[in-house]
A and B are shown apart, each in its own frame.
Chain A
Amino acid sequence: MGVHELENLFQQKVDHEIKIEPKDWMPEKYRKTLVRQISQHAHSEIVGMLPEGNWITRAPSLRRKATLLAKVQDEAGHGLYLYSAAETLGISRDEMLNQLHTGTAKYSSIFNYPTLSWADIGAIGWLVDGAAIMNQVPLCRSSYGPYARAMVRICKEESFHQRQGFEILLSLSKGTPAQHKMAQDSLNRWWWPSVMMFGPKDDESPNSVDSMKWKIKRFTNDELRQKFVDICAEQVKILGLQLPDNDLKWNDERGHYDFGAINWDEFWQVVKGNGPCNKQRLDARNKAHNEGAWVREAAIAHAEKKKQRTAKAAA
Chain B
Amino acid sequence: MIEISNSELQDVPVQKLPVEALINYTLNLADTSLILGHRNSEWTGHGPVLEQDIAISNIALDLIGQARNFYQYTAEVINKNQVAFDLPYVTGRAITEDDLAYLRDVLEFKNLLLVEQPNGDWGQTILRQFFFSAYQYLLYEQLQKSKDSQLAAIAEKSIKETTYHLRWSSEWVIRLGDGTEESHQRMLNALQEFWMFTGELFKPSAYEQVAAAMQIGVDVTTLKGAWMEKVTAVLEEAKLPLPTTPALQSGGKTGTHSEHLGFILAEMQFLQRAYPNSNW
Contact = CB atoms under 8 A, between A and B. Distances in A.
Per the CB under 8 Å rule, do A and B touch in the complex?
A: yes
Interface in B8-67: 34, 38, 41-42, 44-54, 57-58, 60-61, 64-65, 67
Interface residues of A, number: 49
A56 B41 contact: yes
A197 to B, nearest CB: 20
A61 interface: yes
A70 B178 CA distance: 32
B54 A76 contact: yes
B179 A49 contact: no
Contacts of A28: none
Interface string A187-200: 00000000000000
Given A58-B267, A64-B280, A76-B50, A294 B182 contact: yes
Nearest to B268: A57
Contact of A83 (B50, B61, B275): B50
Given A58-B267, A77-B54, A66 B176 contact: no
B101 A56 contact: no
A53 B183 contact: no
A302 B178 contact: yes
Given A58-B270, A76-B54, A297-B180, A288 B278 contact: no
B258 interface: no
A315 interface: no
Nearest to B267: A57
Interface in B168-184: 174-176, 178-180, 182-183
Interface in B133-191: 174-176, 178-180, 182-183, 186
Nearest to B277: A176
Contacts of B54: 73, 76-77, 80
A305 B65 CA distance: 37
A178 interface: yes
A299 B102 CA distance: 38
B124 to A, nearest CB: 12
B279 A171 contact: yes
Contact of B61 (A61, A73, A178): A73
Nearest to B58: A73
Contacts of A292: 47-49, 122
Interface of B: 34, 38, 41-42, 44-54, 57-58, 60-61, 64-65, 67-68, 71, 97-98, 101-102, 121-123, 174-176, 178-180, 182-183, 186, 264, 267-268, 270-272, 275, 278-280
13 contacts: A53-B45, A53-B46, A60-B271, A61-B280, A66-B65, A69-B57, A83-B50, A175-B278, A288-B47, A291-B121, A292-B47, A295-B176, A295-B183
